[in-house]
Chains A and B, each alone.
Chain A
């Protein structure tokens, strides 16, 4: 932490020095150039000092963080991806947010099995090695917790997109299409739903329509080229593209086929969306179109004087690709279409940029995404008008950041 503070002060100091230098005719020589730095002179570590490499020590503040008051205990809790500090669309494995219901199961892959049972011709058991003998595919998908932004329904609450939008990650999965595994067992005509189940102490279960299972679900064993991390379900996790993260059962050990949904705890008590009339929506599986500006944001203020500024952010939709992102610098009165850059995969993060000349004055930053279905990200007020403030899940509303003179940024609401 002290590293980050001193680094920030150094950056701010450097900007001030540069400004002062411009104001006078004599420019001070930059010691970063005129003085020989230790790394210019001395030998560094040899190979194998870090057999599994880690980020620079100057990036030590780029970590997952939690909000301790949210939950009773860390074993049934959530932390947040530091999206304010990341680039592109791929989340590094060690920074993917975690949500566990009974802690991280440490599973020995040699002792792990996947069972297919229920309405199938032949109930089958597979080892992890056998799963890897099915035809594989590689797909980039985001995973978003349905409660992402859940603390913001009543109003601006947490200062940082890591906390307001960080229950999301996006990686490349390697795995087996679920339809291949189900076909090996043979699904009976009456089979309409599946119930994936985890091997952890919560025995996580969710009901998923068979049609989704056959469309694009995967049983993944790798993320970003390496084995799944334990906290992401090692050795096997279900991938349910575009749908609530809770359905992506980790430590996947069993899939039952049935003719109706099971209405288990995570699809009745949780992950149902209470409206203001006291009735609740259920089976709200798709994650709707959404975006957020990651820079500038409360944890990533503008550290330079007025001038050329890069605004950057993420957009995604569980229903397809992102067609367009608009940004506003004045709280939603006027909009400009942002520049999308990088790959555009369905049900994956998209990166957008907007470069502009900052006059150094206050800004009210917003982004608004439109997906390939034509759905437009709603304002917070529009969403609250139809859903009230108690539905916890599926808050895909437009976020506002207030940039003050000096570059500091705060989570606000506008009207």
Chain B
């Protein structure tokens, strides 16, 4: 368990609230201001707006606004992110990380599409459109099989993401070598070059090379 997870657990017992200071700086935020900016959504559904949408609704929006970069089937054009496919590939030589194969929470899809998509025209989608697009991305990944399934705040919890249990906390501390490192005769004989960057030749031309 990382130092941070441990210390967080400790904080839960000893923390006292950070008492309000009184420098007289700032002013209270209004409800409308908070509503305008606070659009973040969590895995437990906190932050989800009212509204709803189906994959069938989302397909047209997707084809109009998303497919140009992400591909008609979510396969990703050029180097834009692939959204669908890759199931069962995470332990492969070349894993494919998509919403379906990798993302642990459906809330992340809603939140990200809502705040950052379409690329170059962020926050232009209505809440219903974001529900519909989220449903369609899940449909492309076979996570929703019924294209008329109504995704909403109420039905959100019914969606199960295949890789939700695929993550574990930072445990790098177990990797660190203990003690002083070797200073002399540290390798089994003289070292030789086994691989050269020049063979791949992918470095951008910057100077004479």
Q: Which A residues are closer than 8 A to B by beta carbons? A: 1, 4-5, 8, 61, 65-72, 75-76, 101-102, 115-118, 121-126, 130, 133-134, 155-160, 162-163, 179-180, 182-189, 191-192, 195, 197, 201-203, 205, 209-212, 214, 253-254, 256, 258, 260, 262-265, 268-269, 272, 274, 276-285, 288, 298-299, 326, 330-336, 364, 368, 370, 374-376, 378, 382, 386, 390, 394, 402, 410-415
CA distance A1 to B107 in the complex (A): 48
B170 contact set on A, CB distance < 8 A: 281-285
21 contacts between A and B (CB under 8 A): A4-B207, A70-B79, A76-B119, A133-B25, A188-B17, A203-B115, A205-B40, A212-B4, A268-B103, A269-B99, A274-B95, A283-B4, A326-B183, A330-B190, A334-B185, A364-B193, A402-B196, A412-B196, A414-B192, A414-B193, A415-B191
1/0 contact string of B23-38 vs chain A (CB within 8 Å): 1011111000110011
> Contacting chain A: which of B52-60, B132-140, B143-151, B174-182?
B174-182
Collect the chain B residues with CB atoms within 8 Å of residue A118's CB.
Answer: 38
A316 to chain B, nearest CB (A): 16
- Which residues of the other chain, B, contact A158 by a CB distance below 8 angstroms? 197, 202-203
Report whether over half of chain B's contact residues are helix, strand or loop; otherwise say mixed: loop
Query: In the complex the two chains form, is B37's CB within 8 Å of A115's CB?
Result: yes
A394 and B197 CA atoms in complex are apart in Å by 20
Pair B17/A189 contact, Cβ less than 8 Å: yes
Query: Provided the pairs A8-B207, A134-B25 are in contact, do residues A262 and B202 lie with their beta carbons within 8 angstroms?
Result: no
Q: Are B91 and A412 within 8 A (Cβ)?
A: no
> Which of B12, B41, B90, B111 contacts A192, CB < 8 Å?
B12
| Closest chain B residue, CB of each to CB of A77 | B79
Verify A269–B208 contact, CB threshold 8 A.
Answer: no
Contact between chains at A412 and B195 (CB < 8 Å)? yes
As a 0/1 sequence over residues 160 to 204 of chain B, the CB contacts with chain A under 8 angstroms (1 = contact) are 000000111111100111100111111100111111111010111
Q: Are A264 and B191 in contact (CB under 8 A)?
A: no
Task: Please give, as numbers and ranges, the residues of chain A lying within 8 Å of B71 by CB-CB distance.
Answer: none
Measured between beta carbons, the chain A residues less than 8 angstroms from B156 are: none
Given A282-B167, A334-B183, A263–B108 Cβ distance below 8 Å?
yes
Residues of chain B with a CB closer than 8 A to A269's CB: 97, 99, 102-103, 108
A191-B17 in contact given A72-B69, A102-B120, A284-B170 (Cβ < 8 Å): yes
10 nearest interchain CB pairs?
A: A331-B191, A186-B20, A278-B91, A278-B90, A203-B115, A124-B26, A411-B197, A187-B18, A72-B79, A183-B21
B residues contacting A by CB (< 8 A) are 2, 4-5, 7-8, 11-12, 15-23, 25-29, 33-34, 37-38, 40-44, 69, 78-80, 90-91, 94-95, 97, 99, 102-105, 107-108, 111-112, 115-116, 119-120, 122-123, 166-172, 175-178, 181-187, 190-198, 200, 202-204, 206-209
Interchain nearest-CB distance for A165 vs B (Å)? 13
Q: Which residues of B contact A5 (CB under 8 A)?
A: 207-208
The chain A residue sitting closest to B31, CB to CB, is A123
Q: Which of B5, B15, B22, B207 contacts A189 (CB 8 A)?
A: B15
Return chain B residues, CB-CB under 8 Å to A256.
38, 40
- For A215, the closest partner residue in chain B by CB is B7
CA distance A124 to B26 in the complex (A): 6
Question: Are B207 and A268 neighbours in the complex by a CB distance under 8 Å?
Answer: no
Complex formed: what's the CA distance from A160 to B194 in Å?
18
Give B20 Cβ to nearest chain A Cβ, in Å: 3
Interchain nearest-CB distance for A49 vs B (Å) = 29
Q: Chain B residues near A402 (CB, 8 Å)?
A: 193, 196
Given contacts A182-B18, A214-B18, A283-B170, contact A262 B207 (CB under 8 A): no
For B78, the chain A residues whose CB sits under 8 A away are: 72
What would 5 more interface pairs be, CB under 8 Å, given A67-B204, A415-B191?
Answer: A8-B207, A156-B195, A156-B197, A158-B203, A187-B18
